[in-house]
Amino acid sequence: MDRNFDFTGFDSTRFDTMSFDAVYYEPAALDYELGKMLRVKYADLPWLPIENHNRIPELTAAANRDFPKLKRHLIVGLRKTHKYMPNHKVSDWLVPYTSSGCRAMCLYCYLVCNYNKCSYLRLFVNRRQMLDRLLKKDAGSLVPQTFEIGSNSDLVLENTITDNLHYTIERFAREGRGNLTFPTKFHMVGPLLSLDHRGKTIFRMSVNPREIIRRIELGTSPLDLRIRGLNDMAAAGYPVGLLIAPVILLPDWQRLYGELIEQLADELSEKVKQEGFIEIILMTYSFVHDAINTEAFPNAVKLLNREAMTGRGRGKYCYRNELRGEAEAFLREKLARRLGTMPILYIS
Ligand code: SF4
């Protein structure tokens, strides 16, 4: 059996997030520097021309059980729509940026709601145009704004292929007034540590209990490496946050999240504890996730729990209010006791 698709044991550390088997590309992408670089980097793979990264009929027609195979394709194109959505959490705006979709396969991934089976990694090579637009919006605002650039993908993973964060962070540091921010579930922050960021990029590390990472966040970095990555980014002077998300209320959730908070308290640096903030998001799941996961990962943990969850429209489910209240009280109490210097910005 192909090593990448053997999830019998659900050990996400066995999953190679950098391997692809084919590149689907819009020919115009090869006119851009990044497109040319990718052409050389993946010269050994088949390159298949497409008209539009949003419509690849042979992939859209694939069965749900082929989800892991679809994730092995890399899509290269141009981002044509640049609509910013207002946001009211850490950022003011959600910005479509240099990628959408992801090579990893978290069983609850929010991108599946948008892209269904086709949530494979798409890289957009027109980064200058995207950052020009963002800087223009920043310059034209009455007060400096914060832009979330990682809501459509995981930019730390993407950066290992494109080096886009180097370009983005340093150019924004020189020309921007406000802040950029992005969350990640990956630890590969080495290339970011020496960048001239001028404190304008807020780095947020997403964490979950070890067991949840291994069995549910397939293909992402282990917890200890994520903690080290967050400590390193804080030491390099970046403003930082800790995102406990999504909180998944498995039958033994109190043990799992209690142990997570203990480990964070033991291993986070003093700098993170003194300067960092916390965000907490409880899991939202959907009918689409359930259909794909049931066929693609039949042995995986079942995340849809009709007793604990309730519908919230458009095929989505969230935890019932009583359970949410219980989880919120538990997390607030544990965090106050062990990480009391870090403000909780919100629990949603
Ligand atoms: S790392 Fe983030 S973007 Fe990638 S599959 Fe997991 S939740 Fe989705």
Ligand 1 atom having least distance to the Cα of 108: 7
Side chain identity at residue 101, one-letter code: G
What is the predicted pLDDT for the residue at 9? 37
CA angle in degrees (0–180, nearest 5) for 293-298-303: 50
| pLDDT, tens digit (0-9, with 9 covering 90-100), for 77-115 | 999 988 999 998 899 999 999 999 999 999 999 999 889
155: domain CATH number is 3.80.30.30
DSSP bridge pairs for 13: none
- The answer to whether 2 and 89 are in contact (CB under 8 A) is no
Structural domain of 201: 3-347
Q: Give the position of tokens 């850490």.
A: 90
- The answer to whether 29 and 77 are in contact (CB under 8 A) is yes
The alpha carbon torsion through 23, 25, 31, 32 (nearest 10 deg) reads -60
Ligand 1 atom having least distance to the Cα of 154: 3
Pocket mutation for ligand 1, best pick of 70, 102, 103, 123 (most atoms within 8 Å of C-beta):
102
Domain count, the chain: 1
Q: Mean pLDDT over all residues of the chain? A: 94
Q: Is the pLDDT of residue 10 over 50?
A: no
| pLDDT, tens digit (0-9, with 9 covering 90-100), for 303-325 | 999 999 999 888 999 999 999 99
Atom 2 of ligand 1, nearest CA residue: 154
DSSP per residue, 8-67: SS--GGG--TT--SEEEE-GGGGGSHHHHHHHHHTTTS-EEE-SBTTB-HHHHTS-GGGH
- The answer to whether 241 and 277 are in contact (CB under 8 A) is yes
What is the predicted pLDDT for the residue at 15? 53
Ligand 1 atom having least distance to the Cα of 101: 3
What is the predicted pLDDT for the residue at 17? 64
Q: How many Å apart are CA 53 and CA 38, to the nearest integer?
A: 16
What is the predicted pLDDT for the residue at 272? 98
Q: Is the pLDDT of residue 1 over 50?
A: no
Q: What percent of the chain has pLDDT over 90?
A: 91
| pLDDT, tens digit (0-9, with 9 covering 90-100), for 209-251 | 999 999 999 999 999 999 999 999 999 999 999 999 999 999 9
